Amino acid sequence: MSGDDVVSAIPGELISWSGWASGLNTDLERSARDLNQKLEELNFSHPDPGYLGQVPYLGNDVIRYAYRNDGTDTWVGRVGHAFMRIATRGQPHGVVAADYQDFLNGLVTTDQQDLAGLVGANPVTDAEARAAAAALAEQLKEAQDAGDLNQVQDLVRQLRDHQWDPNFTSTFFQSLGVPQTLAVLRTIAKDDGLLRIYDNALATATNSPDWDPAFNDQMWPQPGSGWQSTSPIEALILKYGVFSDDFLTRAGDSVLFGGRNAWTRAHDPTVDQLVLNALARSPSASLSFLLGHPVDPEIGQPSFGDRLVLLLHLLGQEFPGSPDVARAFGGLLSASGHSPMALTPFVGPSGTEPAIQALLHQLGAQPKGLIPDGARSGIADLISQHIELFVDAPLSKDGSATWQQSVFDLAEQDGNDQVLQDSIRKIEAAALSWSLTHMPSSENPTDNANERAWMEWDRRTGTLFALAGMPLSQVNYDRSKLESDRAFVIDQAIYLALAPGGAWTVPAEDAASWMVDSWMHNGNPLNSSDPGLANKAKDDQVFLNKLADMKAALAAGFLQAHPELVPPGVNRDDFLRRVASGEDTGNAVLSQFQKDLNGASLAFAEQYFFPNK
């Protein structure tokens, strides 16, 4: 280390400065706020202007000064802690603990580069931003108190350049305080542009490392004796922005699980929708919220049931008359699937399973009538995001539907058992995508090492397509919809194969239709030793169509990915039909693939016809 680079300090002196000066700043800030209050009272008493005009709010300058100092003082503390880390680096924990005071009060010498690596940000920039934020908050308070609406709007507009800055926004809103934050909100509520800036800024602030959670608590009174309802205007604070998980959870509990002595059933759909949408903009908050437990004001403790199930009951009467709330609830379910914690183990009512599976499991256990129709698209989206969780879905053991079968049913049929075609397509596309991307890497039939992987793929592919097709019924699903689904699935297969080889779209649709006609007139599609299964297969038109779609789509995807397997000069349409329907092509690789398609078909049939078809 060269002489110019040598730096030294006694860590305790710098750390002690920081704590001491922080107290000075807080004390000065408090006095400055009191001064502003007194100056405001003097101004509002309207002294005769011949003697005294409006006095300036000099407390603002003092607050700015205190915040500016605080930034520097905090930074001095960081430098002190950096010196301390350098002093104790490499020392056993026991030694540091025993000689802590010696380390703290001893002179530490190091080099500037080492120190700078531990200290980080520029103190002046940070301090200036905080000072400016505190001053802006004070100006806003004064304008709000004076009823100067134009000035309030102008000042909020100044937040535009700072709305993504955690330091600025956290200082701004913590200086403003909850009552004034809501007062300003009421002033700007009708200006959507300003509202967007204001909400985004608060959202940024709530995610700041130095955000005080007491603000969240004060803004969203929790269920119990201190609870208060949220007005539609106040709920506009949630219209834009991605807030912290804690802020959102408290907002959700205050709005959706409010009540002083018991959960209230008096809900405002506008407010409910705003809070559900705000939660849905944060996937991590969505999942933890739904699986968590709100405080039950009747017992003053967290409830036994999780929020997912409780919400279905609490909002059950609201959903039919407020489809927007139902859709927002579906959006919340869908968002939870994107949580980074979705696949982490979670201990729930059904034991330990991935968190998102616990959610799906809970959903699948609910009576169909409890699920609002508006939420079904969200459930379909959730299933499609995590379709891999269903590949090993078991068969029913007692004739009743498994939770996996039930949750597909919830997604694909409405309360009147009418099929939701968009949901079906979403889920079938996900099943197809899983199947095409999980085909074993080698299709060589002479390679026995791949046999187990192919058999597993067969079973899983069949299971997924069966779950997707099960909720359909030939009673309420007509031929035109089946053919429309077919075109969609085949398109997806060609798109997902993402390989050269020409367009197989029309041939694949034709092949599927040909197979359905052939099976309906000439026999069953299964090479199964189970005669009951084979006979049922003949009878079920939806089954035949969906099975044909699966076989044609996978065959098209396979040939698209392996164009070398198509003999030159052969009629492509006819060749695809032969591969999909299991006719011999004289090619050993394709024979193996056809065996696998048949295996998938059997798994499809076993899942599909069980329990009630």
Partner 1 sequence: MGIPYPDPIRFDHGKADAAVAAIKTVIAKLQSQKGDRWTRGQAMRVNWKGPYALHQFDPELTRMVSGANDLIGQLQSLVTTISSASARVIEDQAAHDRANQQWEEQNAPDPGVVPGL
CA distance 231 to 253: 15
CA torsion 140→145→149→152, rounded to 10°? 0
Cα–Cα distance, 66 to 134 (Å, whole number):
10
- For residue 107, the minimal CB distance to partner 1 (Å) is 6
Binding piece for partner 1, criterion CB under 8 A, among 31-39, 85-93, 161-169, 332-340:
31-39
Q: Does 59 bind partner 1 (CB under 8 A)?
A: yes
Site membership for partner 1, residue 75 (CB under 8 A): yes
Bridge-partner residues for 295, per DSSP? 302
Among residues 14 and 335, whose Cβ is nearest to partner 1?
14
Query: Pick from 1, 2, 14, 577: which binds partner 1 (CB under 8 A)?
Result: 14
Q: Which among 28-36, 93-101, 432-440, 581-589 is the span making contact with partner 1, rule CB under 8 A?
A: 28-36
Q: Which is nearer to partner 1, 32 or 424 (CB)?
A: 32
- For 550, how many CA atoms within 13 A lie in the half-sphere containing its CB? 35
Q: From residue 87 to residue 126, what is the string marking binding to partner 1 with x (rule CB under 8 A)?
A: --------------------x----x--x---x---xx--
| Segment near partner 1 (CB under 8 A); pick from 37-45, 161-169, 524-532, 586-594 | 37-45
Which CB, 112 or 385, lies closer to partner 1? 112
Exposure of 137 in the CB half-sphere (CA atoms within 13 A): 27
Backbone angles phi, psi at 602, to 5 degrees: -65, -45
77 or 354: whose CB is closer to partner 1?
A: 77
State the minimum distance, in angstroms, from the CB of residue 12 to partner 1: 10
Nearer to partner 1, 127 or 555 (CB): 127
How many residues in the chain? Answer: 613
State in Å, rounded, how far the first CA of the chain is from the last one.
81
Place of tokens 């800030």: 29
- How many residues touch partner 1 (CB under 8 A)? 47
Least distance to partner 1, CB of residue 21, Å = 7
Give the strand pairing for 345-348 and 295-296: unpaired
Q: How far is the CB of 105 from partner 1 (least distance, A)?
A: 10
The window from 12-20, 273-281, 538-546, 596-604 that contacts partner 1 (CB under 8 A) reads: 12-20
Candidate segments 23-31, 248-256, 399-407, 511-519, binder of partner 1 by CB under 8 A: 23-31
Q: What are phi and psi of 111, to 5 degrees?
A: -110, 155
* 42 binds partner 1 per the rule CB under 8 A: yes
Q: What is the DSSP string of 409-465?
A: HHHHB-TTS-B-HHHHHHHHHHHHHHHHHTS-S---TT-GGGHHHHHHHHHHHHHHH
Provide the β-strand partners of residue 6: 111
CA dist 415 → 333, 367, 410, 411, 425 (Å): 18, 10, 9, 10, 19
Stretch that binds partner 1, among 14-22, 377-385, 414-422, 461-469 (CB under 8 A): 14-22
Among 7, 356, 431, 537, binds partner 1 (CB under 8 A): 7
> Under the criterion CB under 8 A, does residue 56 sit at the interface with partner 1?
yes
Q: Which of 1, 19, 26, 52 binds partner 1 (CB under 8 A)?
A: 52
Contact between 76 and partner 1 (CB under 8 A)? yes
Check binding of 495 to partner 1 (CB under 8 A): no
Spatial separation of the C-alpha atoms in residues 444 and 307, rounded to whole Å: 50
Residue selected from 48, 398, 564, 584 as contacting partner 1 according to rule CB under 8 A: 48
Q: What is the rounded distance in angstroms from the CA atom of residue 320 to the CA atom of residue 499?
A: 46
Determine, following the binding rule CB under 8 A, whether residue 79 of this chain makes contact with partner 1.
yes
> Which is nearer to partner 1, 78 or 260 (by Cβ)?
78
Q: Is 51 in the site for partner 1 (CB under 8 A)?
A: yes
**Contact of 425 with 488, CB cutoff 8 Å:** yes
Among 34, 192, 392, 422, binds partner 1 (CB under 8 A): 34
- Answer yes or no whether residue 368 interacts with partner 1 by CB under 8 A: no
> Which is closer to partner 1, CB of 9 or CB of 197?
9
Closest CA to 258 of 221, 305, 285, 312: 221
Q: Is 146 in the site for partner 1 (CB under 8 A)?
A: no
Which amino acid would we find at residue 321?
G
| Nearest-approach distance from CB 66 to partner 1, in angstroms | 9
Structure tokens of 281?
Answer: 């903009």
340 to 287, 336, 493: CA distances (angstroms): 9, 9, 28
CB 436 within 8 A of CB 496: yes
Residue 103: which residues within 8 A CB-CB, separation 6 or more?
A: 11, 84, 87, 88, 91, 96
- Show contacts with partner 1 in window 447-466 (CB under 8 A): none
Give the angle subtended at the CA of 474 by the CAs of 472 and 477, to the nearest 5°. Answer: 65
Q: Are 327 and 309 in contact (CB under 8 A)?
A: no
- As measured in angstroms, the least distance from the Cβ of 356 to partner 1 is 48
User: Minimal distance in Å, beta carbon 118 to partner 1?
Assistant: 11
Sequence-ordered list of residues with C-beta below 8 angstroms from that of 507, at least 6 positions apart, any chain: 556, 572, 573, 576, 577
21 binds partner 1 (CB under 8 A): yes
Minimum distance, C-beta of residue 84 to partner 1, in the bound complex (Å): 13
Question: What is the nearest approach in angstroms of partner 1 to the Cβ of residue 116?
Answer: 8
Q: Residues interacting with partner 1, by CB under 8 A?
A: 6-10, 13-14, 17, 20-21, 24, 27-28, 31-32, 34-35, 37-39, 41-42, 45-48, 51-52, 55-56, 58-59, 61-62, 65, 68-69, 72, 75-76, 79, 107, 112, 115, 119, 123-124
